[in-house]
């Protein structure tokens, strides 16, 4: 594992249109990912994980919102300074994405071979028989059985797991330096899920791929991630190496999330879930967004945003409690 960050996100802000005004779905998000490393991004549904992914790729539709601040440095290039044509040159080729739902993320009217092939053709300029061979190789590399036959299949003829492998073949066509995986296994059953995770790990070992792995499943975090960022209401509230985070969570939200992890050894009744609802983005409380649900909240939490505290090497969290409530 080399240690040069291939992707560096700094102070990313994305504002979405909401009513007459705007809300911050991504608020001052920063992280780095090194080659060969996997950074997990966890948080409840609606916390802004997908918006973070799309912002990095600059794929937020203008009718939905736009990135209003920050830098996304990919292999030394700040993507936010590029024009659309230059940006397109990086999309897929150097930074690619696997989407959550394999049932809807492939085009239903195009053959598998075409959908993989158009990416390979675009990135590597292959044509004719060479392109056809590359498509079959790409499918085979993702361990899709009988790839020669799959080329002419349509998405509806494949299972969810197979489709997600096709999605992976498209994502790896570049091959890219960074892969964003936005909950790629959430829609799959457990066996298929672990096969796909194993596949991604193997691909990473061979290619030195950096992965941003979005999930809300700590079991997956433990399996595949090196470090993990915890997101709440558009902000990263804690970031730490996986073992460190599990052993020593510092932010009250992380603590609560970890307590809510379903433990297969205990009765269903004893499963813990976090009290209350995540806040609506257009109605965020002043100060710490988590305060209404936090057992440790004090007055200062409701008045001012919490400071970022270095909790150890490579470990930081944003919370007043860690700062002694400002005393």
Partner 1 sequence: MLRFTLSRLLQAAVTLWMVATIVFFLARLTGDPVALLAGENATAEYEAEMRRRFGLDLPLWQQYLVFLKQLSMGDLGTSIVSGEPAMMQVLERWPATLEIAVAGVIITLSLALPIGVYAAANRGSWLDTFARAFAVLGQAVPAFWVGLIFILVFAVHLGWLPAGGRGTIWHVILPAITTGWFAVAGIMRLTRSSMLEVLASEYVKLARAKGLPARTVIWKHAFRNATIPVITFTALVVLAQFLTGSIVAETVFSYPGVGSLVIDALRKRDFPQLQAAVFFLSMLYVFVNLGIDLVYGFLDPRIRS
Ligand X SMILES: Nc1ncnc2c1ncn2[C@@H]1O[C@H](COP(=O)(O)OP(=O)(O)O)[C@@H](O)[C@H]1O
Q: How far is CA 234 from CA 16, 161, 297, 298, in A?
A: 11, 30, 19, 22
Smallest gap, in angstroms, from Cβ of residue 291 to ligand SF4?
A: 4
Smallest gap, in angstroms, from Cβ of residue 167 to partner 1?
A: 8
Instruction: With contacts defined by CB under 6 A, name the span among 41-49, 121-129, 248-256, 259-267 that binds ligand X.
Output: 41-49
Contact between residue 281 and residue 16 where contact means Cβ atoms under 8 Å apart: yes
Selected from 8, 22, 30, 46, the binder of ligand X by CB under 6 A is 46
Smallest gap, in angstroms, from Cβ of residue 81 to partner 1?
A: 17
Residue 7: helix, strand or coil by DSSP?
strand
Nearer to ligand X, 115 or 215 (CB): 215
CA–CA dist 229, 317 (Å, integer): 10
Nearer to partner 1, 68 or 152 (CB): 152
Q: Does 163 bind ligand SF4 (CB under 6 A)?
A: no
Smallest gap, in angstroms, from Cβ of residue 47 to ligand SF4?
A: 14
50 binds, among ligand SF4, Mg ion, partner 1, none (CB under 5 to 8 A by kind): Mg ion
Smallest gap, in angstroms, from Cβ of residue 224 to ligand SF4?
A: 27
Minimal CA–CA distance to 42: which of 304, 262, 227? 227
Q: Does 43 bind ligand X (CB under 6 A)?
A: yes
Nearer to ligand SF4, 90 or 250 (CB): 250
Smallest gap, in angstroms, from Cβ of residue 206 to partner 1?
A: 22
For the CA atoms of the chain, what is the radius of gyration? 21
Q: Does 291 bind ligand SF4 (CB under 6 A)?
A: yes
Residue 65: helix, strand or coil by DSSP?
strand
Q: Does 31 bind ligand SF4 (CB under 6 A)?
A: no
For 10, counting Cβ atoms within 10 Å of its Cβ (0-12 exposed, 13-18 middle, 19+ buried), the class is middle
Query: Residues in the site for partner 1, rule: CB under 8 A?
Result: 54, 57, 59, 61, 63, 88-93, 96-97, 99-101, 104-110, 118-119, 122-123, 154, 156-157, 167, 170
Instruction: With contacts defined by CB under 6 A, name the span among 37-45, 141-149, 270-278, 291-299 that binds ligand SF4.
Output: 291-299
Smallest gap, in angstroms, from Cβ of residue 90 to partner 1?
A: 7
Q: Length of the chain, please?
A: 327
CA–CA dist 168, 98 (Å, integer): 6
Q: Which of residues 52-91 bind ligand X (CB under 6 A)?
A: 64
118 binds, among partner 1, ligand SF4, ligand X, none (CB under 5 to 8 A by kind): partner 1
For 46, counting Cβ atoms within 10 Å of its Cβ (0-12 exposed, 13-18 middle, 19+ buried), the class is middle
Nearer to partner 1, 169 or 220 (CB): 169
Determine if the peptide bond prior to 145 is cis (ω within 30°).
no
Sign of CA dihedral 155, 156, 162, 168: positive
Q: Does 48 bind ligand X (CB under 6 A)?
A: yes
Q: Does 50 bind Mg ion (CB under 5 A)?
A: yes
DSSP codes joined into one string, 147-191: HHHHTT--GGGS-HHHHHHHHHHHHTSS--SEEEEESTTTTS-HH
Residue 189 CB coordination number (10 Å): 10
Q: Which residues bind ligand X (CB under 6 A)?
A: 16, 25, 43, 45-51, 64, 281
Q: Which residues bind Mg ion (CB under 5 A)?
A: 50
């Amino acid at each position: 594992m080399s240690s040069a960050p291939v992707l560096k996100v700094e102070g990313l802000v994305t504002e979405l249109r909401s009513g007459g005004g705007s809300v911050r779905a991504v608020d001052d998000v920063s992280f780095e990912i090194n080659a060969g490393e996997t950074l997990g991004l966890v948080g409840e549904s609606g916390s802004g994980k997908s918006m973070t992914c799309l912002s990095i790729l600059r794929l937020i539709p203008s009718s939905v919102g736009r990135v209003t601040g920050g830098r996304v440095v990919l292999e030394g290039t700040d993507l936010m300074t590029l024009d659309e044509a230059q940006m397109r040159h990086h999309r897929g080729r150097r930074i690619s994405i696997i989407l959550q739902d394999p049932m809807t993320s492939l085009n239903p009217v195009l053959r598998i071979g075409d959908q993989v092939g158009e990416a390979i053709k675009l990135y590597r300029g292959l044509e004719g028989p060479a392109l056809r061979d590359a498509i079959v190789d790409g499918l085979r590399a993702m361990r899709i059985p009988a790839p020669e036959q799959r080329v002419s299949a349509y998405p509806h003829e494949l299972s969810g797991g197979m489709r997600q492998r096709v999605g992976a073949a498209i994502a790896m066509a570049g091959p890219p330096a960074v892969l964003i995986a936005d909950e790629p296994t959430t829609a799959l059953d457990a066996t298929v899920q672990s096969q796909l995770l194993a596949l991604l790990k193997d691909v990473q070992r061979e290619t030195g791929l950096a992965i941003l792995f979005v999930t809300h499943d700590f079991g997956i975090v433990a399996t595949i991630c090196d470090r993990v960022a915890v997101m709440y209401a558009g902000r990263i509230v804690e970031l730490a190496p996986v073992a460190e985070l599990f052993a020593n969570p510092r932010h009250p939200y992380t603590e609560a999330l970890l307590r809510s992890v379903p433990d297969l050894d205990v009765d269903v009744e004893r499963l813990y879930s976090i009290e209350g609802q995540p806040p609506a983005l257009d109605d965020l409380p002043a100060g710490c967004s988590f305060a209404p649900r936090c057992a440790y909240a004090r007055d200062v939490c409701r008045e001012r945003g919490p400071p970022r505290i270095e909790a150890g090497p490579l470990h930081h969290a944003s919370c007043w409690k860690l700062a002694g409530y400002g005393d």
